[in-house]
Amino acid sequence: MKISVFRKEHFNAAHRLYNPQWSDERNDEVFGKCNNPNWHGHNYELVVKLTGIPDADTGYVYDMKKLSTLIKRHVTDKFDHRNLNLDVDEFKDLNPTAENIAITIYDLLRPNIDEAYELKVTLYETERNFVEYPA
């Protein structure tokens, strides 16, 4: 039977939620205080889940140090202490909602992890708001 392994990492970032094709009124109505043009920010907690078969020689599904390094290189080095809208290419034309950040993290990690592993990303924007991709 398969087994899943999880690694938790974190990054701190600023962002703003808005749709540039909408009026200010429409943006305020939909995104409320998240549409502050001067930005706000979060301590994001990221959990990456890989599902596969443990290796017979190591007893590991995946080396957690290797997974941590991979998340650091492809995700947290790019996102941590950044403005997601201004500093991260992926959000130049994509609203950095928790949903879109999780999908982007998945897309950044997927090509770097063997296809034999199922990949899932959970992202906590706050302790009370979080998302999981894919569902």
Could you tell me if 23 and 94 are in contact, meaning their C-beta atoms sit under 8 angstroms apart? no
Residues 6+ apart with CB under 8 A from 69: none
Residue tagged active-site, from 34, 45, 90, 99: 34
Could you tell me if 123 and 131 are in contact, meaning their C-beta atoms sit under 8 angstroms apart? yes
The pairing of beta strand 40-52 with beta strand 82-83: unpaired
Under rule CB under 8 A, residue 19 binds a second copy: yes
State yes or no: is 10 an active-site residue.
no
Under rule CB under 8 A, residue 97 binds a second copy: yes
16 secondary structure, DSSP code = -
Under rule CB under 8 A, residue 113 binds a second copy: no
Which positions touch a second copy (CB under 8 A)?
1-10, 12-15, 17, 19, 22, 30-34, 36, 38-43, 51, 54, 57-61, 63-65, 80-83, 86-87, 94-100, 102-103, 118, 126-135
So which residues are the catalytic ones? 34, 81, 125
